[in-house]
Structure 1
Amino acid sequence: MSALVVGLAVLLIWPLFNAVLAGYATTTAAAAGRHARRGRRPPEFPAGQRAHPVSYWIVIPCLNEERVVARTVAAALALPAPGARVEVLVVDDGSDDGTPAVLAGIGHERLHVLRREPPVARQGKGAALNAAYQLIRQRVAEAGTDPTRVAVGVIDGDGRGTDNLLVEVGDALREPAVGAVQVRVRIHNRDRLLGMAQDLEFGSVADASQVLRDRVGSVGLGGNGQFIRLSALLALGDQPWSGCLVEDLELGLRLHLARVRVRYVWRAAVVQQAVVDARRLLRQRTRWAQGNLQCLPYLGRLFGARQIPNHTFVEMAYYLLAPWFNALGAIVVGGFWTVTTIRAANGGAVLSGGVVLGIVVAIWLSVMVLPGLLWAVLHRFRLRDEALSRCLLGGLVYPALLLLGLVSTWRAVARQVSGRRGWAKTERIPEAVPELT
């Protein structure tokens, strides 16, 4: 029976961790709300130290995005940025569908299209972003604009920012020490249950984690909704983005090593499509896990970097190692409970084997389901754009995403060991094309 008590204590760590994280995010948001209601503005800096952007370049990497790219471009061009100019650069990375025709049909002075042809095309998202960066660097130099006042943003082909996106990013970049900003990510096709679960994951769980990481100085960049000062990219050379399968994760690590401060903005968001096919979702998560595995060598560099505080290193190390700890921990804990349950049932000391098994199943189900329901309530409380019933249904599906993550971690190990690096593009869901104004 003592073994069962130990096993129960180990299991409770997971829901307790989620409860603490959710509580922290909620209190932080409440404090920020009180701050805003009192009319406080971000700090102003002397004229010689002003760092808010006067120019935004929004990069949209694009490969066979005919179904969604028109809407994405229209949304990017429409983003307000008081006191700054917004340029939109679409990198057509060798599309062979109707994407070139769609882009050719959009006539706008602030839209630029960089067409890449084989053999340089289709070398990965990182290569496409590097090509965009090199063009932006050239244009900014020709215009004589201070690179510290230029922000390069990345919005995927299926993404669109909220109206306050550039205003919030600009406020975060007022501080000269801040070199990059990551904004919240949401899901717009959350009418599908699997999409709702992913909105719960991005809009609540990942958001709370980033709020905490912002506090300790270890914010990570995502593939969608990242904004980097051009001067920070210049410090990283000709190719700031790498060929890693999660190039955004590696860029964030490189920026931290270069002593560039990265902030997180949760009041604005980039909204993207969810993957609502289970097989494609598993493939996506396996790619993320394999990219995470490719970034593990950075742990040594982070550990040896004297400029990174110990608490920041610990948090970044946890972020890199968590998928692997979870995968191994699930096996260890599952094996422990299996052996303990069998022994308790065979011993028949107090309860029958069936009762013991029922208790174990009930405990496991509670531990798996309760965190998702907790995040569902938080989602409704903070975002208020979905009915509580929808949020709770998404919370019930959330454990399936966790299970998918465990499976994808082991698939990623198999792919990495076998030397497989190639990936098929995730297919988009068609969207209505808006009129460009």
Structure 2
Amino acid sequence: MIYYILWALSFIGLFLGIFWINIMFFKRSKKIRLKELPLVSVIIAAYNEEKTISKTIESVLGLDYPRNKLEVIVVDDGSRDGTYSIARGFRGVKVIRNKHLGVGKSSAVNAGLRIARGKFFGVVDADSTVTKNSLKIVLSYFSSDKVGGVISAIKISNRGRFYAGLQKLEYAFTVLARELMSRLGTLHFSHGVLSVFRTGLIKDLGYFDENNLTEDLEIAMRLKANNYDLVMAHDSFTYTNVPSTFRQLWNQRVRWYRGMMANLKKYHYVLFNPRYGFYGLFQIPLNFFTVFSISLVFVIFAYQLFKILWDNVIRFLLLRFEIFYGWDLPPLKFLLLSFDVKFLFPVIVIILLNLYLLYRSYEMIKEKPKIFNFVLIVFFIVYPLLTMFHWIAAIFGEIFGAKRKW
């Protein structure tokens, strides 16, 4: 039974890989030539970011955009360090303190949004930076009134560390994945590293949800639920710092995945709803299936691990602690012939497809991947297991109602 489940999941993964490769041949999102640059408000929400806030503000002020058309708003969310005073040192930057402390980033963004004068507004995290032409490129993707938001392509800025290396590969894949969803019309993610929205639209939809763990995902799904499109500006590059320790990465991903499940529950009515087209009939069901399949694989993994440990304990007791007595290493021929080709074939094809997608991902972010790299091996073999445990921790957190925290 386990064999057939894994075999089915492998072929579903193979089908999806081939499907997304075919989407690469779809037309990219339409861009327009801006006849007149609109007023844009850039909101930077900050909490204890004295080490990075200067660099963030400098990058925003350094945008290739008319200064009289750019409104920069820094919202200090009750920082206990020098964030507020550092931000106040920049000329031409509006700095306010958020009155509703302890609610989270969404409350700070809303505080900035209430005073924003721009036709469009962008959200930039206080540990992130933007490139000079990133804003103009993002704005060029607002090709119709149905485009409610446009997101940039994120790269990572902290380099040279093991966890950063893993996430560099992951973020490259993410850029490609979001571009493909954008082409398909099913993109439902935004982020805090220069996502730009129509100001009036977001206000009409009720601002950002201040009770949501992942407000950027929620606002994106709310736009889709109201039949607005999100678009990926694959050629607009921005940079962010990523977790550099196991614990930081764990906390971030569990928060993300719990937020994903909470928002899938909130917008469950989109599931298999033909009113939402391919987004409701394919993308959201795929998200639900992903959560289900990860849970199923974990159960199989746990069962097999328990079975192996139990069998070895029994054998250990039967041999009366002579655990190595009479043990011989199996010959190489036996090991090679013991592999199930029917199961191994789709797995090998999936690995090859992933290598191809990795190549296309780096091509999209205009970088060259390192072919033979220890981090690459860990990314394909170990990192999926770690991601599975992130998901399981998130699932258990939601089932047992664990306190949601940043």
TM-score bucket of the superposed structures, by smaller chain: 0.7 to 0.9
Contact 1:187 1:196 in 2 (8 A): no
Which letter maps to 2:227?
R
Shift of 1:113: 1.1
Query: When the two structures are superposed, what TM-score results if normalisation uses the length of structure 2?
Result: 0.80
Structure 2 counterparts to residues 29-108 of structure 1, below 5 A: 42-43=31-32, 54-81=38-65, 85-105=69-89, 107-108=90-91
Q: Which runs of 5+ in 1 are unaligned?
A: 36-40, 141-146, 342-350, 425-437
Residue 170 of structure 2 aligns to a residue whose secondary structure is helix
Structure 1 position 409 matched with structure 2 position 399? no
Distance 1:219 1:83, change over 3 A: farther
Deviating more after overlay: 7-16 vs 276-285: 7-16
Which letter maps to 1:134?
R
Structure 1 position 169 matched with structure 2 position 151? no
Alignment correspondent of 2:326:
none
Which letter maps to 2:239?
V
Residue 153 of structure 1 aligns to a residue whose secondary structure is strand
Of all paired residues, the percent bearing the same amino acid is: 21
Shift of 1:272: 0.6
Alignment correspondent of 2:96:
114
Contact 1:22 1:378 in 2 (8 A): no
Shift of 1:43: 4.8
Alignment correspondent of 1:197:
166
> 276, 279, 291: which one pairs with 1:312?
279
Shift of 1:6: 7.9
Alignment correspondent of 2:318:
none
Rounded Cα–Cα distance in structure 2 between residues aligned with 1:368 and 1:70: 44
Structure 2 counterparts to residues 285-304 of structure 1, below 5 A: 285-303=253-271
Q: CA offsets per residue over residues 215-249 of structure 1, 9 Å max, x none?
A: 23221232222111012112213x33332111111
Rounded Cα–Cα distance in structure 2 between residues aligned with 1:103 and 1:132: 14
RMSD (CA atoms): 3.8
> 236, 239, 242: which one pairs with 1:268?
236
Contact 2:50 2:81 in 1 (8 A): yes
Rounded Cα–Cα distance in structure 1 between residues aligned with 2:61 and 2:167: 27
Structure 2 counterparts to residues 246-265 of structure 1, below 5 A: 246-265=214-233
Structure 1 position 216 matched with structure 2 position 199? no
Alignment correspondent of 2:20:
21
Contact 2:274 2:280 in 1 (8 A): no
Residue 40 of structure 2 aligns to a residue whose secondary structure is strand
Rounded Cα–Cα distance in structure 2 between residues aligned with 1:244 and 1:6: 35
Q: CA offsets per residue over residues 320-369 of structure 1, 9 Å max, x none?
A: 4254123223236648988999xxxxxxxxx9996279636994985786
Shift of 1:256: 1.5
Residue 126 of structure 2 aligns to a residue whose secondary structure is coil
Shift of 1:178: 1.6
Distance 1:274 1:386, change over 3 A: farther
Alignment correspondent of 1:153:
122
Distance 1:422 1:216, change over 3 A: same
Shift of 1:10: 4.1
Structure 1 position 325 matched with structure 2 position 292? yes
Q: How many pairs were matched up?
A: 381
Distance 1:360 1:415, change over 3 A: same
Alignment correspondent of 1:423:
405
Shift of 1:409: 1.5
> 142, 145, 154: which one pairs with 1:185?
154
Shift of 1:16: 5.6
Which letter maps to 1:85?
K
Q: CA offsets per residue over residues 96-136 of structure 1, 9 Å max, x none?
A: 0221232233x221x1112125xx21211111111111121
Residue 295 of structure 1 aligns to a residue whose secondary structure is helix
Rounded Cα–Cα distance in structure 2 between residues aligned with 1:387 and 1:209: 17
Distance 1:228 1:322, change over 3 A: farther
